[in-house]
Amino acid sequence: MRKKEPRIATPKLPLFIYDFATTGQGIATLNSELIINQQSYSELVGVKVLLWNALPGEVVSKFQIVTQKPHFIEGIAIEFEKQSESRVAPQDKQFLSTSPWQILNDQAELSAKSNILVSLFNHLSKTRPIDEELIQNIPIHQSPKNYFYRNKMEYSLYYNHEIERIQLAVHYRGSHRKMPITSSSLEIPAIFTRANQIVDELNRTKQEARSFQSLLLRANQSGEVSGGLLENGKPHPVFPNLTDTLLGNTYSYSPGGFFQINLPVYEAALLQIKAFFEDSTSVLDLYAGVGTIGLSVARDKALTLVEVNKSAYEELTANSTRVIHTTNNQLIHPILAKSEEVLDQISADASVILDPPRAGCDQKLIQKLCEVQPQKIAYLSCNPVTQVRDLSSLLQYYNIQSIQGFNFFPHTPHIESLVLLTRK
């Protein structure tokens, strides 16, 4: 199959990057016709251009188009007339695929993430009352490590015909094409070491890369690694569980299941929630996963934990049983259900933990929270855009006590946002 020719775009007037999008690209407006592979397009004037490898204040003279829609173009900046003083050299050649903000210095990254949250909450404050002081300078809790922090990686496999070997790989951004990698600053080093050992064994036994979907590996904070190869067309194997400690409490979890990627900064968020719930007697943990929030911050309270994923629920049950045996607290109850299916568990005298997926909370759940009005809500979100959407309803009945960001994923645009709410 012939490779698709890249679409290289040159605007007649260079693009000025005026801000970051909430998704992490630099934003510009096309103010002139655009030459794409030597063909001119004047009808594109006025569309937004979202560019990876572009920082606010930079001027871009050439970029590669990744996606083109009627009202915006997404691409990768290639040539510049001016670059930002905040730009630094990336650690990895594959940075655009794995951690595209490696080009941004650490302080500028924290400022950019704070500014994204400030912009979102300023917009919300136009329709809902929020204390201005809470919005003016939203803090971002830094990760203790900016490199080698990820405890989970899923690699592709690539057969390099030039050297006749299988290699670890990632996908080029916006493409099915694979890029072989020989080094990485993203994951805990024990993961990369183990991945290369597995690839060496595949080469020794002359396996075919196309036989495998991916290579999934996870490491705990002690450097123990679990996981392995996922074969195409076969059920995924069950890998040995790992254990980790959060706030002095031990949790068991599957390498392929949901567990936080960056535990040290996750603990910082848990400490904030624990202090907020100090005077609560009853806590409802929705979207509980394996129980790391509820069992860390409310193990001494009447605690109900709700999780819909069956494998995560099994681990949640095991972790809950361990806590019950340790604390003799018989008021801890895990439930297998969707959060929006257990609305009767929400009570006015309880405090609620929300940690939904990127899509945010189900609107039936938000409506029930507005109706019953529990005392406190701690809303931890991996997507501040949907968090702000949900808060628009909740703030009719709640006041924001705190807005904080957490840098769970350094050198990426991802922001974890924690909002603490008290009933009016």
**CATH number of the domain bearing residue 135:** 3.40.50.150
Indicate the length of the chain as a whole number: 424
Q: What angle do CA 23, 24, 27 make, to 5 degrees?
A: 95
* Structure confidence at residue 137 (pLDDT): 85
Which residues lie below 8 Å from residue 35, measured CB to CB, with a gap of 6+?
A: 9, 10, 11, 12, 41
Alpha-carbon radius of gyration of the chain: 24
Q: What's the N-to-C CA distance of the chain in angstroms? A: 63
Instruction: Give the pLDDT score at 140.
Output: 97
pTM of the model: 0.93
**Closest-CA residue to 54 (of 73, 32, 80, 33):** 80
**Bridge partners for 334 per DSSP:** 305
Q: Could you tell me how many helices (H) and strands (E) the chain has, helices first?
A: 9, 24
Question: Structural domain tally of the chain?
Answer: 3
**Could you tell me if 77 and 204 lie in one domain?**
no
Q: How far is the CA of 262 from the CAs of 179, 244, 259, 356, in angstroms? A: 25, 12, 9, 17
* Those residues with Cβ within 8 angstroms of residue 228's Cβ, 6 or more apart along the chain or in another chain: 198, 215, 216, 217, 237, 239
Both 369 and 302 in one domain: the answer is yes
Asked if residue 277 and residue 132 are part of one domain, the reply reads yes
At 5 the pLDDT is: 83
Q: Looking at residue 124, what DSSP letter applies?
A: H
Here the tokens at position 349 are: 């005298």
Residue 93 lies in a domain: no
Residue 256 inside a domain? The answer is no
279 and 384 housed in the same domain? yes
Q: Is residue 72 exposed (0-12), middle (13-18) or buried (19+ Cβ within 10 Å)?
A: middle
Residue at 395: amino acid letter: L
**Cβ atoms of 8 and 37 closer than 8 Å:** yes
Same domain membership, residue 317 and residue 208: no
Residues 209 and 266 in one domain: no
Identify the domain containing residue 77 by its residue range: 7-84
Position 386 in a domain: yes
Written in H, E and C, the secondary structure of 394-416 is HCCCEEEEEEEEECCCCCCCCCE
Q: What does the CA dihedral 388, 391, 395, 400 come to, rounded to 10 degrees?
A: -70
Cα separation, 179 vs 168, in Å, equals 8
* Domain closes at, from 241, 271, 300: 241
Residue 172 domain-assigned (yes or no): yes
Cα(43)–Cα(34) distance, integer angstroms: 9
236 to 52, 194, 214, 381: CA distances (angstroms): 34, 19, 11, 29
Residue 14 lies in a domain: yes
Q: Is residue 233 part of a domain?
A: yes
Residues 139 and 270 both lie in one domain: yes
Instruction: Give the number of other Cβ atoms within 10 Å of residue 225's Cβ.
Output: 22
Q: Is residue 92 part of a domain?
A: no
Same domain, 324 and 371: yes
Q: Are residues 269 and 417 located together in one domain of the fold?
A: yes
Phi and psi torsions of 367, nearest 5°: -60, -40
Q: Specify if 95 maps to a domain.
A: no
Q: Which two tokens stand for residue 338?
A: 């969707």
Quick one: 303 and 398 in the same domain? Answer: yes
Q: Which residues of the chain have pLDDT under 70?
A: 1-3
* pLDDT for the residue 1: 44
Q: H helices of 277-399, where?
A: 294-297, 310-327, 363-372, 384-394
**CATH code for position 42:** 2.40.50.140
Within this chain, do residues 291 and 360 fall inside the same structural domain, yes or no? yes
Q: Please, which residues have CB within 8 angstroms of residue 333's CB and are 6 or more apart in sequence?
A: 303, 304, 305, 320
**131 and 266 share a domain?**
yes
Cβ(281)–Cβ(301) below 8 Å: yes
Q: Is 338 exposed, middle or buried (0-12, 13-18, 19+ CB in 10 A)?
A: middle
